[in-house]
């Protein structure tokens, strides 16, 4: 996935349709030249609607579609006829797309399923025809309601990548190298910070034709939760990962301190991220002998499973797959138990 084709943020101007005006018509024919009111209601204005599409991985189609307008509702007619509703506009978006108001920052909703529909901008209501205003004291109302105007505002759509495993590490921790060595993905790799500017996804094959999805996401730096470096562009993507794989290079000056930096950034951004399954992989293990590994292990101050790996020599990669699969399975069982408990509690109430 190239930098140009992966778009995870768009700001679009949305204008829903105006509602149609109600009719102030009166019934007329040869036998009844002065009939009562029979004006119909106006049709509602068109909505702007987001629809989840599991075949999409990017917001690129919306990047060049900045102004989106829905159709206006038709006016009411004689004999109580309601005007036609305005044409709705459907925007296809990837699973994991969130919507919020650009002016207020209010979170609106998240698209979580294929074919899920959510109204981003609601069309104006149609005006009521004069039949609604007839009363014993006003038998011939000569007025009707105008249609309600549509809403015009700027909206922000953001995409959170969906993957089983998200790679967490400082720039140059070896995330892209790992992804390229155990999947068919071909991320950009270089010996300088922020080689990865967009998420890269790869499918990791496992036993018996099973597999899981791994995401290489732009590297984190201290202060990322405040927007430093690539900031939120990194952090928002790991919210939808089931397992977080921390990568720290064996040549780090202080593995414990680096791990604390990463944990603190997750904590400051969203404390719930620390509830996810976590694994630590110490990369570039091909540079270490057993004595140095034992020394590093004796100084580690972490409480999560860890192992040594090398994407170059493939050391530890099979063990890493095993550990990741166990974590994914454990997370899946935890979610199943949570859903079962919630359903049981609901039934009890």
Q: Which of 159, 181, 212 is the last residue of a domain?
A: 159
Q: Which of 133, 159, 185 is the last residue of a domain?
A: 159
| Each residue's pLDDT tens digit, 243-263 | 899 999 988 889 999 999 889
Q: What is the pLDDT of residue 230?
A: 47
Q: Which of 140, 159, 178 is the last residue of a domain?
A: 159
Q: Are 241 and 308 members of one domain? A: yes
Residue 320 lies in a domain: yes
Q: What is the pLDDT of residue 193?
A: 43
Residue 4 lies in a domain: no
Residue 3 lies in a domain: no
Report whether 260 contacts 228 (CB < 8 A): no
CATH value at residue 124: 2.70.210.12
Report whether 306 contacts 281 (CB < 8 A): yes
Residue 246 lies in a domain: yes
Residue 184 lies in a domain: yes
At 12 the three-state DSSP class reads strand
User: H/E element holding 331?
Assistant: helix 317-348
Q: Are 82 and 198 members of one domain? A: no
Residue spans of beta strands (DSSP E) within 150-266: 152-159, 165-168, 200-205, 211-216, 243-249
Q: Are 179 and 210 members of one domain? A: yes
What domain range includes position 334? Answer: 165-348
For every residue of 34-70, DSSP letters joined together read T--B-PPPPPPPPPEEEEE-TT---SHHHHT--EEEP
Grouped pLDDT means (10 residues each) for the chain, 349 residues: 63 96 90 87 97 87 90 94 96 91 92 94 96 91 94 91 81 77 57 49 76 73 46 64 89 91 85 88 90 91 91 89 87 52 45
pTM of the shown model: 0.66
Residue 62 lies in a domain: yes
Residue 1 lies in a domain: no
| Each residue's pLDDT tens digit, 115-154 | 999 999 999 999 999 999 999 889 889 999 999 999 999 9
Q: Are 144 and 172 members of one domain? A: no
Residue 144 lies in a domain: yes
Q: Are 212 and 310 members of one domain? A: yes
CATH value at residue 281: 3.40.50.300
Q: Are 174 and 75 members of one domain? A: no
Q: Are 31 and 131 members of one domain? A: yes
Task: Give the total number of structural domains in the chain.
Answer: 2
């Amino acid at each position: 996935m190239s930098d140009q084709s992966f778009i995870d943020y768009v700001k679009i101007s949305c204008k829903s349709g105006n509602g149609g005006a109600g009719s102030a018509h009166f019934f007329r024919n040869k036998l009844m030249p002065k009939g009562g009111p029979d004006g119909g209601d106006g049709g509602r204005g068109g909505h702007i609607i987001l629809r989840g599409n599991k075949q999409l991985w990017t917001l690129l189609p919306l990047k060049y579609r900045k102004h989106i307008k829905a159709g206006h509702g038709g006016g009411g007619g004689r004999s109580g006829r309601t005007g036609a509703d305005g044409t709705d506009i459907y925007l296809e978006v990837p699973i994991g797309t969130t919507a919020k108001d650009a002016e207020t920052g209010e979170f609106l909703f998240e698209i979580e399923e294929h074919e899920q529909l959510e109204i981003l901008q609601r069309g104006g209501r149609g005006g009521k025809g004069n039949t609604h205003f007839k009363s014993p004291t006003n038998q011939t109302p000569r007025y009707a309601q105008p249609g309600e105007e549509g809403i015009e505002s700027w909206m922000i759509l953001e995409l959170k990548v969906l993957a089983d495993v998200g790679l967490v590490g400082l720039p140059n921790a070896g995330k892209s190298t790992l992804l390229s060595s155990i999947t068919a993905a071909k991320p950009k790799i270089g010996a300088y910070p922020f080689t990865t500017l967009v998420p890269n996804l790869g499918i990791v094959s496992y036993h018996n034709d099973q597999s899981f999805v791994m995401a290489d996401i732009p590297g984190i730096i201290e202060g990322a939760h405040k927007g430093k470096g690539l900031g939120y562009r990194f952090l928002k993507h790991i919210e939808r990962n089931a397992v977080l794989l921390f990568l720290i290079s064996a040549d780090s000056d202080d593995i414990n301190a680096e791990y604390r930096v990463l944990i603190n950034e997750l904590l400051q951004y969203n404390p719930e991220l620390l509830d996810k399954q976590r694994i630590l992989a110490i990369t570039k293990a091909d540079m270490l002998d057993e004595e140095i590994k034992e020394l590093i292990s004796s100084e580690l101050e972490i409480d999560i499973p860890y192992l040594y790996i090398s994407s170059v020599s493939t050391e530890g990669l099979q063990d890493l797959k095993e550990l990741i699969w166990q974590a994914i399975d454990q997370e899946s069982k935890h979610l199943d138990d949570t859903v079962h408990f919630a359903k049981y509690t609901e039934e009890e109430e």
